[in-house]
Chain A
Amino acid sequence: MKHKLPLLTLAVAVSTFAVPLLAHHGNAAYNYDKKIMVSGTVTEWIWANPHCWLKFDAKNDSGEVTHWIVEASAPPTISAQGWSHNSFKAGDQVTVTMIQVKNGQPIGRFEGDVILNDKPFPPHDNGSSSNPKGGPKP
């Protein structure tokens, strides 16, 4: 199934988030009231402690490119949900559901569904996660 999503789709504005994510570096910078979905091309996936992050480029309808950085939780947390150090590679097509920082910078945190090369990611759940959609959690 193809997922044809607009490049910058402002999605749901609900406050049903279960827990604050990624507590190491504070949560106050992020807008927890609104999720957005952004599609683009992966440029780099950094597997690091205490947080991992994905860099990808998104083009708008005018062809302008925005360099996004989306942080995930720590390797031990997301490993348990099927993520790994080689989950993404440059050139992959992704659609990321995230929350964005309040100041408008193209920085976000994974929060919800991820589509990787037209398939749901992560591809399997090994039973460690109570979140079948695979988004990072503490």
Chain B
Amino acid sequence: MPKRCVFSAILLIVLLSLPRLVHAQNAPGTTEGQAKQQSWNNGPPAKKAYVGKKSAPAPRRNLSGIWNAAAEGGVQPKGVLEHPALLPDHPQDDIGEQPDESKISRPLAYTPLGLAALKANKPGVGVRAVGPGLVNDPVDFCDPQGFPRMELFEFRVLEIAQSKNQVLLLYQFYDNWRVIWTDGRALPDPKEAEPRWNGYSVGKWVDDYTFVVDTVGMNEKTWLDNAGRPHSGDLTVQERFHRLDYDTLELTVTINDPKFYSQPWQALNKFVLHRLPDDYDIQEFFCAPSETADYNKLIGNPASETPQK
């Protein structure tokens, strides 16, 4: 057999073997099927994946990446049951019903108007949880969470992308997104601007690793969190994104609403987000009105009915 034929035969065998060689390089203990699954619809790793991990230094003026906000405390990072103002009297598994927050060690400083608005909101969870059928949480009907609730409840995975004039925040929960303008424009007058679910946001770098965002103009249909904390149209929110290192981002969210709260308060204080791999695929998470209607018909409403005697 001519040498050329032998060489061609060997080459053909090598080429046919390539897929197996590639598959053999999957992570130890994973099957081919699992490896394929992990390239789409990824689930965030548990917190233990981050513990003790060494990181490269933070890049300058750059928040880009895919960030896991659920590693620290799950999908309700501080929104209700773990809110700093509620600890330590009410641990996370306390779902008892209480009429107000008067027994909480450090209650928020509601104004009379704010307290009245709080009482009108009937949450399904938290220290003010009401019975089934009485909950009026707008998110249960697929209304948008709005800002800042999207960072105080179901804060799962957040992708951040930067362009010349914008920072884009892409939130997994209910597939929502915000635009932060960085072109130097001023915020609109909230008394004149059309109210928005997510408000109007502008941001600026205050140092090479700290990006501060101010937001106004949120509509009054949204709650601040799933505990039913209210806000008025006068709400302004400041977010402070501080990149500690390549893999770690801290977020502080300050609520300022003098109509409903007599002083500003921090809803998140240096809340940690962990960077996910660049090839992390964010699973979609829409609120589908038809599916929610089916859920309410089959589960939510029957579960709320009074027992037959």
User: Which A residues are within 8 Å of any B CB, using their own CB?
Assistant: 17-20, 23-30, 32, 46, 48-51, 53, 69, 71, 74-77, 79-81, 101-105, 107, 124, 126-130, 137-138
Q: Confirm or deny: B93 has a beta carbon within 8 angstroms of a beta carbon on chain A.
A: yes
Q: Does A50 contact B43, Cβ atoms closer than 8 Å?
A: no
Q: Does B262 sit within 8 A of A, measured CB to CB?
A: no
Q: Which of B132, B156, B226, B285 meets A29, CB within 8 Å? A: B132
Additional A-B contacts beyond A19-B92, A76-B43 (18; CB < 8 A): A18-B93, A23-B226, A24-B139, A24-B140, A27-B124, A27-B125, A46-B291, A46-B294, A49-B285, A49-B288, A50-B295, A75-B285, A76-B41, A107-B299, A126-B38, A128-B43, A128-B44, A128-B46
Expressed in whole angstroms, the minimum distance between the Cβ of A20 and any Cβ of chain B is: 5
| Chain B interface category by residue count | 35 or more
B43's partner among A19, A27, A80 (CB-CB below 8 A) is A80
- A interface SS class: loop
With beta carbons under 8 angstroms apart, the residue of B34, B43, B299 that contacts A69 is B299
Give B residues with C-beta under 8 Å from A. Answer: 34, 38, 41, 43-49, 74-76, 80-81, 92-93, 95, 97, 123-125, 129-132, 135, 137, 139-140, 156, 172, 226, 283, 285-288, 291-292, 294-295, 298-300, 302-307
Give the residues in chain A near B226, CB-CB below 8 Å.
23-24
Q: Is the CB of A50 within 8 A of B292?
A: yes
Q: Are B45 and A128 in contact (CB under 8 A)?
A: yes
Min distance, Cβ A136 to any Cβ of chain B, angstroms: 12
* Alpha-carbon distance A129/B294, docked complex (angstroms): 28
Q: Within the complex, what minimum Cβ distance (angstroms) separates A94 from chain B?
A: 17
* Chain B at the A interface: SS class: loop
CA distance A23 to B77 in the complex (A): 13
Q: Which of B135, B294, B305 contacts A103 (CB 8 A)?
A: B305
Q: How far is the CA of A69 from the CA of B302 in the complex (A)?
A: 11
| CA distance in complex: A75, B123 (Å) | 23
A107 with B302: in contact, given A27-B124, A49-B286 (CB under 8 Å)?
yes
Contacts of B41 in A (CB 8 A): 76, 79
B283 touches A75 (CB 8 A): yes
- CB contacts (< 8 Å) of B303 on chain A: these are 29-30, 101, 103, 105, 107
Q: Which residues of B contact A49 (CB under 8 A)?
A: 285-288, 291-292
- How far is it, in angstroms, between the C-alpha of A130 and the C-alpha of B283 when the chains are bound? 20
Asked if A79 meets B43 with Cβ closer than 8 Å, knowing A19-B92, A26-B124, A103-B305, the reply is: yes
Give 27 pairs: A residue, B residue, CB < 8 Å, sorted on A. A19-B93, A20-B81, A23-B76, A24-B140, A26-B123, A26-B125, A26-B130, A27-B129, A28-B131, A48-B288, A48-B294, A49-B286, A50-B285, A50-B295, A51-B295, A71-B295, A76-B285, A79-B41, A81-B43, A101-B303, A103-B304, A105-B303, A105-B305, A126-B34, A126-B43, A128-B43, A138-B75
